[in-house]
Amino acid sequence: MSVKSVVVRELNRMVSRRIYVMAVVVIPILSYVFFLTMFADGLPTELPVAVIDNDNTALSRNLIRQMDALQMTHISEHLNGFEEAEREMKKGNIYAFVIIPANLQADVMADKQPELTFYYNNAYFIPGSLLFKDLSLMCSMSSAAVGLSTGLAKGKSVMEIMGQLQPIRIDTHLIGNPYTNYSVYLSNVLMPGVLQLMLLLITVFSIGVELKEKTSKTWMKVADNSMLTAIAGKLLPYTFIFMTLIVFQNVILFRVLGFPLHDNIFTMLIASVLFVLATQAMGVFIIGLLPVLRNGMSFAAVFGILGVSYSGFTFPVEQMPLGVQSLAQAFPMHHFFKIYQNSALNGAPITYYWSSYLA
């Protein structure tokens, strides 16, 4: 008897139940297709916005056309009042609405300061934030355009006008993700997050079901009563499959889709292999700590879901309470994302993330 005998036994168990095929192959591949399709555009575009035009002049209509021309904004409705716009937002038909005041053009011509108001729904964080950015930019550009036209009419040069409109020019550079592609950081967390969850569950299930069905003695007999042989043989098929999946993920993201990679791809491949092994080790620890299948599966599910939250991709772990920061170190997902962030996105030297490899 050897590790090979345990592997053969586990392969026979895998093909005997559909749950193994679903958890190990079907769900991970479907998650790849789902996330890569959902974030195919990289950035949400044509988000529906309503307009309440109380001025209805050439200036207001031009302003509406310019807003509609923005990449993320689509003027989908022209409404009559605040209450109607509020109802449409509550229904989810629009993410924001803009109120153009009466006498906008007249006030501009009279050198007054008309007020353009917009409301956005930040309950939908990403659409709300993107529309806030777009509409704020539109207001600034409109103000600059009006100032430029007024200055030219008064006989000033463009250089003089721009010096007053924008005394300090801001030169900004997005590092790591210059295209503001949401898929760049979402896919690289959510896809391995699903793999982590499935790997935790299948590790706990494959060991826990032996205890539940009282077949653990047979399992240990095949392994010559060696715990190391028993665990290694049982986990090897899953290790191979999940390593293949996560390597495939890296090739798709970094080589086919061209996601930012400011370091060697082998840095991410090594991190991916260690991520699979660490997740399996955590699964073994969970079922060892809670040797009842139901309890182990429940804890593994919670741990897997929390792993995505504690990775730091939505909120920096460094800004969390000290106790939470310490707890985050127990999640393989946290260390995987730290390596991805420092290596692939920022191209930082290994001194910034060697501890995550060690963890």
Task: Identify the CA nearest to 116 among candidates 131, 134, 103, 98.
Answer: 98
Cβ(181)–Cβ(288) under 8 Å?
Answer: no
Separation between Cα atoms, residue 251 and residue 248, nearest integer Å: 5
Residue 205's pLDDT band, with cuts at 50, 70 and 90, is very high
Contact (Cβ atoms closer than 8 angstroms) between residue 291 and residue 211: yes
Task: With H, G, I as helix, E, B as strand and everything else as coil, classify residue 120.
Answer: strand
Q: What angle do CA 152, 158, 162 make, to 5 degrees?
A: 110
pLDDT in tens, 295-330: 999 999 999 999 888 888 778 888 888 888 888 899
How far apart, in Å, are the Cα atoms of 317 and each of 1, 106, 182, 214, 311?
A: 47, 51, 20, 42, 7
* pLDDT of the residue at 174: 67
Percent of the chain whose predicted confidence (pLDDT) is above 90: 38
Evaluate whether 51 touches 98 at the Cβ level (below 8 Å): yes
What is the rounded distance in angstroms from the CA atom of residue 89 to the CA atom of residue 95? Answer: 6
Q: Tell me which of 218 and 125 has the higher pLDDT.
A: 218
Supply the angle between the helices 227-250 and 265-289 in degrees, to the nearest 10: 140
pLDDT at res. 162: 63
Residue whose C-alpha is closest to residue 200's, from 116, 110, 259, 279: 279
Distance CA 24, CA 205 (A): 12
d(CA 296, CA 294): 6
pLDDT tens by residue, 210-261 = 999 999 999 999 999 999 999 999 999 999 999 999 999 999 999 888 888 8
> Which pLDDT band holds residue 292 (cuts at 50, 70, 90)?
very high
Residues counted in the chain: 359
pTM score > 0.95 for this model? no
What pLDDT score was predicted for residue 274?
96
DSSP-assigned letter for residue 342:
I
Helix ranges (H only) for the chain are 3-16, 18-21, 27-38, 58-69, 82-91, 104-109, 125-153, 158-165, 182-212, 216-222, 227-250, 265-289, 293-309, 322-328, 332-339, 354-358
